[in-house]
Amino acid sequence: MSKGVDVNLENVWIKFGDFVAVRDANVDIKGGEFFSFLGPSGCGKTTILRAVSGFLEPSDGTVRIGGKDMAGIGPNKRPTALIFQNLALFPLMKVWENITFSLEVKGVSKADRRKRADELLDMIALPDQGDKLPSELSGGQKQRVAIARALCAEPDVLLLDEPLSALDLKLRQHMRTELREIQQRVGITFIYITHDQGEALTMSDNVAVMRAGVVDQIANGHSIYNDPATPFVASFVGENNVFRGKIKSIEGEMALINTNRSGELLARIATAARGKLKVGDPAMMFIRPEACNIAADTAPAPNRLTAMVKHEEFEGQIYNVFLEGAEGKEIKMSLVNIGQHRQSAEGDNLTLEYVPDQAVVLPVGELASE
Amino acid sequence: MKAENFLLKFILIAYLVVFFGYLLGPLIVMSITAFNSPAFPKMAPWECLTFEWFDVLARDQRILSGIQNSVIVGIGTVFLSVIMGLAGALVLTQIWPKLRATYYTIVIAPILIPGVVLGISTLVFWDRINIMLGFSSGSFLHNGIFLTILGQSTFIASYCMLVFIARLQRFDTGLTEAALDLGATNVQAFRKILLPFMKPAIGSAAVLAFLASFENYNTTTFTFGKFPTLTIELAQKVRYGINPSISSLAFIIIVLTVVGALVHEIYRRRQQLALANGAPVAAVTGGFQLPKFFRGNPAAVILVLMALGGFSTIWFAQVYNPTECKVDVREQKRLIQGERIKAIRQKQLEQQQQKLLKGPDVFGGSKTQPPAAAGDVPQSPGKGAFGNVFDPGNLDKTAPQATPEKPVQSPGKGAFGNVFDPKNLDKASPQGN
Amino acid sequence: MTVTRIMSNYFNRNGFGLGIFLLVAVVFWVVILIVLPQISMLDFSFRHHLPPPEMGGPKDTYTLEHYKYLVLGAPGADTSYNVVDLTVFARTLLAAFFVTILDLILCYPLAYYLGQSRGGGMTRILVLLLIIPYWINEILRAFAFRIIFGDSGVINEVMLAMGLISDPIDFIRANVALYAGLGYAYILLMIFPIYNVIESLDRNQIEAARDMGAPWWRIHWRVVIPYAKPGISSGCTMVFMLSAGALAAPQILGGPSSLWFTQIIYQWFNTGGNWPRGAAFAIVLLVTCIVIVLSLMRLFKVRIGDIGK
């Protein structure tokens, strides 16, 4: 099987009439990488995928696959294979015919196709299912057939459009592992579209987070989560407590924020914002719920705040505690269940503290709407 | 409350009976008249069971050539309508949204335009094209078959298009994209993905088109030229005189229709059964387990019963000879008639006059011809005017060369029958119309 | 979006060969079979009735004579209007309207019953029974009614035998046979549009209405009929247009004194031999029917797109 090739988007714009679906996207995907586009529905990620697979031409800019400009090359001539959101298995063809459709259109003989189908069926652990119709398979089996069908075309780039969204939770988690394994085995470039951050973070080498047609950040999962480039990324990936305020002072990577309601708090300036923030600028500060903890020492400090417990949710491995700070500021704290936690009662006053390095400061921007 | 429910149920059943009586009654009546001996198709009074009208039908050259023309026109229309209807439906899915409503109105209009108008406009248009091109009046543009196919296809294509649109609405365009993505060309994607998906619809559109073409009158009546279709021939016959051989044709068509419908129903049933069981269709079709199969399948039971009935009828027709019964009826009629004649002298005179005026039998009964004349009809060499009429070969028009010899078949009887032909007495009735 | 852009998108999507094929088929159908013949007939209806050699000659000018004829009658006739043809025209439309109402009343209950009794073997058999008569030739269906209603038809014979009447009733002259035959011919076109719509009506709506104490007629008036409106108007449109344009049934079942307008058109084409006049009459029929249907659709607020669903 061929090794993966690079995919590059250079200043890609995609417009539908007056509507701009993708705005000046620049994305470099390295060969053999598992790359995800993450974003809410309608952010333009599927549009990008369709531009890569050739179902639509960018209004402006260049799509390169393996360094080659793809302009004017139709989907059937590109070295890509797409796994559709609804899988798009051909309902009237048997499983093995589905898998080897790409060979059928090339005129490969039936015997050879059958042989190849059996190899691929073994690979996806569905031996002896070749003569069934897709409608006779379970959801997970269909999923694997769709993957096998795409791989049979021996693409250099495999494109996946939210292929797991129709599966139930357990199967989805299982398929994540399986997809990652397949990708590592075949070694080709995977481009994965999802609105599920869990999928993006667990499987991908790199993730591009998109918002309303704009790529906000491209980085590995760790950076996306811990060092977001925009307030949108900070609030869309994972959960975050947001504090608005003004920068009071800057010291190296750290900044002291005079928040509107919660006093002065200390946080790290996000990598993307370094050098862009000055003292006095309005800013947003983000503290993850799991970065908060109950402080043993209640003395005021720039990494402590006080709040009153509103209610508590037990989620199994964690407790979510919902609190109300000064002037009704809502704060969420997640505590790991290590067995000894005392259930807090409504109305308890607590002092929270956090490691300032785990809180980030960013210039003011749009948040992900829940 | 209970009484009200009972009343409602009663009304519902009564309504259904009336409705389906209206719907099926005429067909049943017509079918029965095919087996009654009077020359004017009637159900009551019942005279004699006879199969002779099938024989008359089988010898009617105009009907036979009408069927031939109908089949040619039907095939042409199916071909043209299915292609245009499919193209029309595919274009509808892709057309620029602003044009869609206008386009849809245009292609749906032929269903609403009176058939007469379509026939006239086709005739006028091609006549002008013919003149414009300077062709003679005998050119193919004036050919009845050509014009009829075009005229019929104009609106039958709309019917086909509706069938295709209904099917296309359930098509996932992602499938075509998937095929393209896997390297298929546009034509391959069309041929391997869309066309197989449309296949059932193409089948039903073709059947629909053929039936619509076969029964069309309004359009064809302006365009048929020198090639009258079956419908045109029937209309001429029905307008200028009726005899039960038309009933027998109707009976044959009804039987074919019912059999076709039942076969279709069984096929559907079996597919549903297969889907319900979750087993592949092949598995169910392979295992033809009779008892189980019949339990859930009333259509199959009816079909088998019909087949049995059909075979026994054909057997019965081979041995049955209605001549004696006819003689009886004729004798009886003659007596009644005689009494009437005595009672009303005037009427008798009229009757005589009509008999004279009528001359040769116009109701198409080859029965009144001397038996020797039957010989000039190629399908049934040596057949008498009576008896052995319900030959299965006559039904499917394959014209068997070997007709089994019948003991009842005697020229003498036929000649004898003619003397007392009920038609000579009955003639007054159809004229009354 | 320019035309070239649209065309290039179109050919990208369908491929060249298939794209051309689709275009040719649709253009042939729409232009050559639908639009041009109608225009040609319209044009023809404004021409003089000329022998073929003079066509296109100096005498071949536009004229309103055929339309005038329909309204005013032959020049020099003793009446100032063409009473005969106009009466036939009005009667045809009225009768078509009557047949439409008849079919609607007859079919609505069954369509409702079929639409609400989901699936089931009974429904399938009823649908099959509905369809079977329509696979039988139009002429034969009319013929069947002639057998039933003729002078020596089933009804007369039975009634005579029972002594109910002493002379046969002339059902043909009374147009009973014609209405029965026309109504019969288009039952299917009325039932299926209504059935299709009612089938998609959520049964809970009816149950909710019943739950709130609405009597059955109010449920139909307020819930079912408004919902089924597209189907009803679609069925009515088709039945009206087709019965106004019917030719076979009036020819076979019509009494000697009751002409149908299509029969007059037919006569101008065949025995009359005056094609332009026949074309003019056909245009009048077509335009009138379209105007009636469109105004009724506007009245009941239904769109053309609902037809044929």
* Dihedral in degrees, nearest 10, Cα atoms C85, C86, C89, C92: -100
pLDDT value at residue C21: 86
**CA-based angle A283:A285:A287, to the nearest 5?**
175
3-state secondary structure of B356: helix
Global model pTM greater than 0.90: no
Which residue stretches of C117-224 are H helix? 120-131, 138-149, 154-162, 176-185, 187-199, 203-211, 216-219
Give the CA distances from residue B253 to residues B27, B76, B245, B399, C133, in Å, rounded to whole numbers and listed in that order: 10, 21, 12, 18, 10
B179 in contact with chain C, both atoms CB, cutoff 8 A: no
Provide the 8-state DSSP code for B230: H
Question: Looking at chain A, which residue has its C-alpha nearest residue B180?
Answer: A76
- Range scoring the smallest mean pLDDT among A29-43, B306-320, C228-242: B306-320
For residue C21, list chain B residues with Cβ-Cβ distance below 8 A: 87
List pLDDT tens digits, range B271-302: 766 655 544 444 444 334 444 445 556 666 67
pLDDT value at residue A232: 92
Is the same domain home to B152 and B67?
A: yes
List pLDDT tens digits, range C146-186: 778 776 677 777 777 777 777 777 777 667 778 888 888 88
Question: What is the interface pTM, i.e. ipTM, of the complex?
Answer: 0.82
- Window 63-92 of B: residues touching C by CB (8 A cutoff) are 83-84, 86-88, 90-91
Provide the CATH number for the domain formed by C73-306 in this structure. Answer: 1.10.3720.10
Q: How many domains does chain B have?
A: 2
Calculate mean pLDDT across residues A304-324: 87
Nearest to B183 among A76, A92, A132 (CB): A76
Q: Is the pLDDT of residue C231 over 90?
A: no
Is the same domain home to B109 and B212?
A: yes
pLDDT value at residue B394: 40
Nearest to B27 among C136, C151, C244 (CB): C136
Highest mean pLDDT (candidates A231-240, B39-48, B370-379, C281-290)? A231-240
Q: Is the pLDDT of residue A287 over 70?
A: yes
Nearest to A101 among B172, B179, B280 (CB): B179
- Range scoring the smallest mean pLDDT among A244-248, A295-299, B318-322, C140-144: B318-322
pLDDT value at residue C215: 74
For residue C304, list chain B residues with Cβ-Cβ distance below 8 A: 101, 104-105, 108
Number of CB atoms found within 10 A of residue B1's CB: 5
Q: Note whether A230 and A362 are within 8 A (CB).
A: yes
Is the same domain home to B68 and B186?
A: yes
A99 in contact with chain B, both atoms CB, cutoff 8 A: no
- Is B9 contained in some domain? no
3-state secondary structure of C47: strand
**CA-based angle B340:B346:B352, to the nearest 5?**
80
pLDDT value at residue B345: 66
Calculate mean pLDDT across residues B65-90: 90
Six token digits for residue B292 = 């189980």
pLDDT value at residue A208: 93
Is the same domain home to B40 and B71?
A: no
- Is B10 contained in some domain? no
Residue C153 carries which side chain, given as an amino acid letter?
G
Tokens 């679609």, residue located? C234
CATH number assigned to the domain comprising residue B178? 1.10.3720.10
Name the average pLDDT for chain B.
Answer: 71
List pLDDT tens digits, range A5-18: 889 999 999 988 88
Six token digits for residue B52 = 């002779």
List pLDDT tens digits, range B104-157: 888 888 887 888 888 888 888 888 888 777 776 666 667 778 888 988 999 899
Tokens 């090359």, residue located? A73
Q: Is the pLDDT of residue B247 over 90?
A: no
CB contact under 8 A, C139 and B238: yes
Is the same domain home to B83 and B178?
A: yes
d(CA A247, CA A163): 43
d(CA C238, CA C194): 12
CB contact under 8 A, C147 and B96: no
As a three-state string, the secondary structure of chain A is CCCCCCEEEEEEEEEECCEEEEEEEEEEECCCCEEEEECCCCCCHHHHHHHHHCCCCCCEEEEEECCEECCCCCHHHCCEEEECCCCCCCCCCCHHHHHCHHHHCCCCCHHHHHHHHHHHHHHCCCCCCCCCCHHHCCHHHHHHHHHHHHHHCCCCEEEEECCCCCCCHHHHHHHHHHHHHHHHHHCCEEEEEECCHHHHHHHCCEEEEEECCEEEEEECHHHHHHCCCCHHHHHHCCCCEEEEEEEEEEECCEEEEEECCCCEEEEEECHHHCCCCCCCCEEEEEECHHHEEECCCCCCCCCEEEEEEEEEEECCCEEEEEEECHHHCEEEEEEECCCCCCCCCCCCEEEEEECHHHCEEEECCCCCCC
- Is B376 contained in some domain? no
User: For residue B185, what pLDDT band results from cuts at 50, 70 and 90?
Assistant: confident
Question: Looking at chain B, which residue has its C-alpha nearest residue C139?
Answer: B235
- Is B2 contained in some domain? no
Highest mean pLDDT (candidates A21-35, B181-195, B379-393)? A21-35
Domain that holds residue B329: 29-51+244-365+385-433
Domains of chain A: 7-226 (3.40.50.300), 239-363 (2.40.50.140)
- Strand ordering across the sheet containing A304-314: A292-294, A349-354, A304-314, A318-324, A330-336
B39 in contact with chain C, both atoms CB, cutoff 8 A: no
Is the same domain home to B107 and B143?
A: yes
Q: Is the pLDDT of residue B420 over 50?
A: no
A88 in contact with chain B, both atoms CB, cutoff 8 A: yes
pLDDT value at residue B14: 85
Is the same domain home to B169 and B197?
A: yes
Calculate mean pLDDT across residues B211-223: 85
- Is B153 contained in some domain? yes
CB contact under 8 A, B192 and A101: yes
Domain ranges of chain C: 1-35, 73-306
CB contact under 8 A, B178 and A136: no
- Window 216-255 of B: residues touching C by CB (8 A cutoff) are 216-218, 221-222, 230-231, 234-235, 238-239, 242, 246-247, 249-250, 253-254
Q: Which of B5, B121, B245, B427 to mutate to test the interface with C (most CBs of C within 10 A)?
A: B121
User: For residue B42, what pLDDT band results from cuts at 50, 70 and 90?
Assistant: low
The residue from B194, B213, B242 where one domain ends is B242
- Range scoring the smallest mean pLDDT among A32-46, A181-195, B52-66: B52-66
- Window 235-294 of C: residues touching B by CB (8 A cutoff) are 237-238, 241-242, 244-248, 251-252, 262, 265-266, 269, 275, 278-279, 282-283, 285-286, 289-290, 293
Calculate mean pLDDT across residues A320-343: 82
- Strand ordering across the sheet containing A214-219: A80-83, A157-161, A189-194, A34-38, A206-211, A214-219
Calculate mean pLDDT across residues B194-218: 87
pLDDT value at residue A228: 92
CB contact under 8 A, A82 and B188: no
